């Protein structure tokens, strides 16, 4: 399985619209151009959400296949991870089918969503057998413990296990802080595992949280799905500007 990109951009998410920010990409053409600009700014992976013609969150295996083929032609060097986020619209069986039938080799899936119905362990095994890397979204240590109970021991202990720790929540005014990572770091130490992990964070604290994750050996996800603003509170002009800010912050940290 391919490892997680070091700095993945998540440019739109499931719910934000142009009213939230005019540079939020909605159409596939907009997503493609945003991905191109973010790759030039330093992102080395794309977290892909699709929308339907009305701009609503879309989980559709055929639409993903078309989008992945298009992105593969236009940006062949950029790894693409698809989402299975339900956004309250899709059931776990549908999420699983999309993950397995979209043609994607990288998929993000929230443990707490996938396990709302039976068959999570079988799904994880089938994805592994097909060479699909599932990045497990974990919102809390309780989620992490739930995943540990769901996965076979061999999968939990695999250094290729992909995780993303969500530092905070999608709520108005949410600002994440670097210390929100500490319980997850403690959990990995207690479990004696060394997975391939990343973080995402919200609001003005996003940059600091990503910096803290990098210092702890983790990877990062940045973009308008999670935050529209820089560390000083200024609204970013676009996703590429957020990528450049995080890249510059990492460069500064490396010099100190």
- Mutual angle of helices 239-255 and 28-41, in 10-degree steps: 20
DSSP state of 105: S
Residue-number span of the structural domain to which 46 is assigned: 7-255
- Looking at the chain, which runs of residues are DSSP E strands? 7-9, 45-48, 50-51, 57-58, 80-83, 106-110, 133-138, 162-167, 196-201, 219-222
What's the pTM?
A: 0.96
Confidence class for position 170, pLDDT limits 50, 70, 90? low
pLDDT at 253 over 90: no
CA distance 212 to 218: 9
CA distance 156 to 159: 8
Q: Which residue has the tokens 């940006």?
A: 75
pLDDT at 111 over 60: yes
Given this model, what pLDDT does residue 254 score?
82
Confirm whether 118 is domain-assigned.
Answer: yes
Confirm whether 172 is domain-assigned.
Answer: yes
DSSP state of 203: G
Q: What is the domain-level CATH number for residue 152?
A: 3.20.20.70
| Lowest-confidence pick of 33-47, 164-178, 190-204, 234-248 | 164-178
Confirm whether 162 is domain-assigned.
Answer: yes
Confirm whether 55 is domain-assigned.
Answer: yes
Average pLDDT over residues 83-88: 97
């Amino acid at each position: 399985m391919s490892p997680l990109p070091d700095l993945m951009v998540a440019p739109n998410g499931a719910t934000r619209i142009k009213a939230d920010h005019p540079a939020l990409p909605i159409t596939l053409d907009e997503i493609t151009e945003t991905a191109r600009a973010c790759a030039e700014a330093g992102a080395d992976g794309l977290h892909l959400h699709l929308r339907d013609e009305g701009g609503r969150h879309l989980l559709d295996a055929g639409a993903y296949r078309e989008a992945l083929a298009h992105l593969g032609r236009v940006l062949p060097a950029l790894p693409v991870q698809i989402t299975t986020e339900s956004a309250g619209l899709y059931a776990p069986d549908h999420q699983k089918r999309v993950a397995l039938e979209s043609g994607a080799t990288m998929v993000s899936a929230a443990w707490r969503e996938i396990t709302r119905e039976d068959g999570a362990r079988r799904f994880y095994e089938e994805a592994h057998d097909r060479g699909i890397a599932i990045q497990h979204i974990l919102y809390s240590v309780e989620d992490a413990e739930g995943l540990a109970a769901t996965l076979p021991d061999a999968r939990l202990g695999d250094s290729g296990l992909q995780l993303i720790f969500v530092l905070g929540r999608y709520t108005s005014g949410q600002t994440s802080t670097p210390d929100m990572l500490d319980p997850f770091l403690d959990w990995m130490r207690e479990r004696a595992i060394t997975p391939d992990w990343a973080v995402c964070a919200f609001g003005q604290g996003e940059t600091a949280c990503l910096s803290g994750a990098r210092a702890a050996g983790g990877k990062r996800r940045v973009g308008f799905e999670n935050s529209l603003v820089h560390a000083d509170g200024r609204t970013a002009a676009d996703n590429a500007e957020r990528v450049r800010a995080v890249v510059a912050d990492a460069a500064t940290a490396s010099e100190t």
